[in-house]
Chain A
Amino acid sequence: MSTPIIELEGVTQHYGIRPVLKRIDLHIERGELVVIVGPNGMGKTTLLSVMGGVLQPQHGSVRIDGRRRRQSVEDEMAIRRTAVFLPDHPFLPAQQTGREFLLAVGRLYDVPDERLIDHVDRLLRLFDLIPQGDGPIMRCSSGQQKKLALSSALVTEAPVLLLDEPFSGGVDPAGLLALKRVLARRVQEHKSTVVLTSPMPEVVEEIADRIVILRDGEVVAFDTLEGLRREFGVTGSLASILERLMHPETTQKLQDYFEGMSS
């Protein structure tokens, strides 16, 4: 097996005194689509932010393409060219048009103009952003703004995409379908690596090569869907695996609730 493109060794992160991530070890291979799942507040966004260079872990290290994050100016610049992090709530320039914004982001990542102009046009058409993409971003709906933000990550052509909740934020079904297909194709054909978080098990099942299950800041499991089924002795969907792993108390609560109704 080749060198992992993303390596986390003993990553521990806390803001106050409550640890959000505890000694996380994770190796993600080139050309994989990995989805981080877990209940709210369990560290999904924090884990992705550590990979994205937004947070510096208190202990442990993050390596991307063999370079350690924040180790040196040269390495950090090289990593930033390789890996693009898109948060759940980005801030977009209100006055620029969507097209101007995407062109500017592409230029930031040195995408050649001829390819960039064409790619931006194709992205705007793919996400149904014509003609809104040629007006100020502030006039777009929240779903259209989210699609512009996602397009900005795609237009960089970075080999590693770190996307926090890309399927939420008002993206319409057509947009969801388009995004899933684009990400899958980039992984399969261009050997890009995508790491994303999602609260939607059905979407995760559909696109993930491997799934990271996070609970209380620890990696409970990291495997393919088949591997998870084998590991936990469950034959059903990811939702049922998560139900068993993450929310056993919810199942019990539901049972209690319905029993109370029938009595």
Chain B
Amino acid sequence: MIRWFRVILPFSGLVMTFVVIYAVLVGFEVYLEWKIGQPLPSNVTLSLPVLAGGAALYGLYRAFAFHPVNRPGYRIWLETTPWTSEKPLPLGPIHLVIQDVVIIALALTAAWPRHHVKSLYVLQVFLIVYLLSMSSALWRTGEKLIAFSLWFAIGGMVYTTRSFPLFGMIAACTYGLAYWGLRRSLARFPWTLSHWVRGTQGLEPAFPSLGWPYNRLSPKFFPDLGISIPNAILTSLLVPWWYYVVLSFIEGPGKLEAAQAIYSFSMVPIIGGRLLIYLTGYAPPISFRGRIITGRWIIPGYDQVFVAPLLALIAGIWLPKVLTDRGFGFVEALAVSLIWVLFLILIWGPSLKTWRLTGSHRIIAPLGSKSGPFVRVG
């Protein structure tokens, strides 16, 4: 029996530890209920969240630990073997197998007597985390459209968690798509991976570890931070979709305030993130005082970097008002505005490559110290 499970189970010590913790927790809750003479309210019991957490970790483990793209040593070794996608993966399957069904069924059986239908959350959490992890691997192996489709579909799964039949239907379709994507990506093995994913292979320089000046004045443009127009469009739609999904869990009079707060706070990483990526290590060519005194208030070659964030900020403030005036619901207006904000941030030039190579900036050395990743020479 153990041998049959060993194909997909994590270390048996880890599994046993979890089982013991869960059993102790349930035992403690049963003892408390016996003492007070009534069932504990569901919001104070920990056994279901702990079991759901275990299911999440198991889902992450199943999609992550068995995929060669996540394990450079495994992938490099596999590239040297005559393995093809027609054969089983040597270290175990990535797709779900009967053992997974048995394990999740055991977890549900353990939870059912105390939590009844709510026990199904364990299955939901497992599937959501497993499919998220799987979609990340598909993205990195080049199946970007399928990965995007999965992220939209997983949003749908999260949106329907309170309706088990609907969740089941969407989950089945999503898993089917993920399985198809997995077959496609394995059929294309060995993959052409980006520098971010590939890691160190023999003499291959592992970006970005070469310090100053080689990272900033490199004759190769390593960071694949640039984004294609299709990916930008899909990202601009995906983030607001998830925003909408998250808000669907908030009920009552606080919903509009929560929508406004999440929207406003999301502006900071979106706009600030772009500025941070573009400006870190790329300073203005002259000081602010120099600009004022010399009358060069605007330096087009440098100030171009502020145009997209400024437009996104204006759109982010102005669009919700325009859309609500035109009859949109408040949450829907914010979600649509978020689409435009993201689109401007991701699409509006200059591209990162053009900026770094042709912008009128002053390239500066990274901050570093003896305790940092770099040592300053001299």
Measured CB to CB, the residues of A under 8 A from B are: 14-17, 52-56, 58, 70-73, 76-77, 80-81, 84-96, 101, 103-105, 107-109, 113, 116, 137-138, 142, 145-146, 148-149, 152, 165, 168-170
Q: A80-B217, A95-B373, A116-B203 are in contact. List 9 more A-B contacts (CB 8 A).
A: A16-B290, A54-B213, A71-B358, A73-B354, A77-B219, A89-B378, A90-B377, A91-B368, A94-B372
A84: which B residues are within 8 A, CB to CB? 217
| CB-based contact B360/A70 at 8 Å | yes
| Known contacts A16-B287, A92-B375, A107-B203; A54 and B368 CB within 8 A of each other | no
Contact of A58 among B219, B285, B375 (CB under 8 A): B285
Residue on A nearest B216 in the bound complex, by CB: A54
Tally of chain B residues near chain A (CB < 8 A): 44
Give CA–CA (A245, B86) in the complex, Å.
79
| CB-based contact B203/A146 at 8 Å | no
| Known contacts A15-B286, A70-B357, A109-B219; A169 and B210 CB within 8 A of each other | no
| CB-based contact B362/A149 at 8 Å | no
A16: which B residues are within 8 A, CB to CB? 286-287, 289-290, 293
| CB-based contact A54/B203 at 8 Å | no
Give CA–CA (A194, B360) in the complex, Å.
26
Residue on A nearest B215 in the bound complex, by CB: A91
Residue on A nearest B302 in the bound complex, by CB: A56
Give CA–CA (A116, B203) in the complex, Å.
10
The answer, yes or no, to whether B156 is at the interface (CB within 8 Å) is no
The answer, yes or no, to whether B370 is at the interface (CB within 8 Å) is yes
B353: which A residues are within 8 A, CB to CB? 73
The answer, yes or no, to whether B365 is at the interface (CB within 8 Å) is yes
CB<8 Å pairs between A and B, sample of 19: A15-B287, A15-B290, A16-B290, A54-B363, A70-B357, A72-B358, A73-B353, A77-B221, A80-B219, A85-B217, A86-B213, A93-B374, A107-B204, A107-B205, A108-B205, A108-B210, A145-B378, A148-B377, A149-B377
Near A by CB (< 8 A), chain B positions 235-258 give none
Residue on A nearest B294 in the bound complex, by CB: A17
B297: which A residues are within 8 A, CB to CB? none
Give CA–CA (A123, B218) in the complex, Å.
22
B220: which A residues are within 8 A, CB to CB? 108
| CB-based contact B374/A91 at 8 Å | yes
Query: How would you classify the secondary structure of chain A's contact residues: helix, strand, loop or mixed?
Result: mixed
A170: which B residues are within 8 A, CB to CB? 378
| CB-based contact B210/A93 at 8 Å | yes
| CB-based contact A80/B218 at 8 Å | yes
Give CA–CA (A95, B287) in the complex, Å.
35
B211: which A residues are within 8 A, CB to CB? 90-93
| CB-based contact A54/B217 at 8 Å | yes
| Known contacts A16-B290, A53-B363, A87-B365; A146 and B374 CB within 8 A of each other | no
A53: which B residues are within 8 A, CB to CB? 217, 363
| CB-based contact B370/A89 at 8 Å | no
Give CA–CA (A87, B362) in the complex, Å.
14
Give CA–CA (A154, B213) in the complex, Å.
14
The answer, yes or no, to whether B214 is at the interface (CB within 8 Å) is yes
The answer, yes or no, to whether B17 is at the interface (CB within 8 Å) is no
Give CA–CA (A105, B209) in the complex, Å.
10
| CB-based contact A89/B210 at 8 Å | no
| CB-based contact B219/A52 at 8 Å | no
A109: which B residues are within 8 A, CB to CB? 219
| CB-based contact B375/A138 at 8 Å | yes
A95: which B residues are within 8 A, CB to CB? 373
| CB-based contact B219/A104 at 8 Å | no
Q: Least Cβ distance of B157 to chain A in Å?
A: 42
| CB-based contact A89/B377 at 8 Å | yes
B309: which A residues are within 8 A, CB to CB? none
Contact of B358 among A70, A108, A169 (CB under 8 A): A70
Near A by CB (< 8 A), chain B positions 193-228 give 203-206, 209-214, 217-221
Residue in B205, B217, B286, B377 with the greatest tally of chain A CB atoms within 10 Å: B377
Near A by CB (< 8 A), chain B positions 344-378 give 353-354, 357-363, 365-366, 368, 370, 372-378
Give 6 nearest A-B pairs by CB, closest first: A104-B205, A169-B378, A91-B374, A91-B212, A80-B219, A91-B211
The answer, yes or no, to whether B53 is at the interface (CB within 8 Å) is no
| CB-based contact A91/B366 at 8 Å | yes
B358: which A residues are within 8 A, CB to CB? 70-73, 76
Q: Least Cβ distance of A25 to chain B in Å?
A: 21
A146: which B residues are within 8 A, CB to CB? 377-378
| Known contacts A15-B287, A96-B209, A152-B214; A56 and B360 CB within 8 A of each other | yes
The answer, yes or no, to whether B49 is at the interface (CB within 8 Å) is no
Q: Least Cβ distance of B208 to chain A in Å?
A: 9
B354: which A residues are within 8 A, CB to CB? 73
| CB-based contact B357/A77 at 8 Å | yes
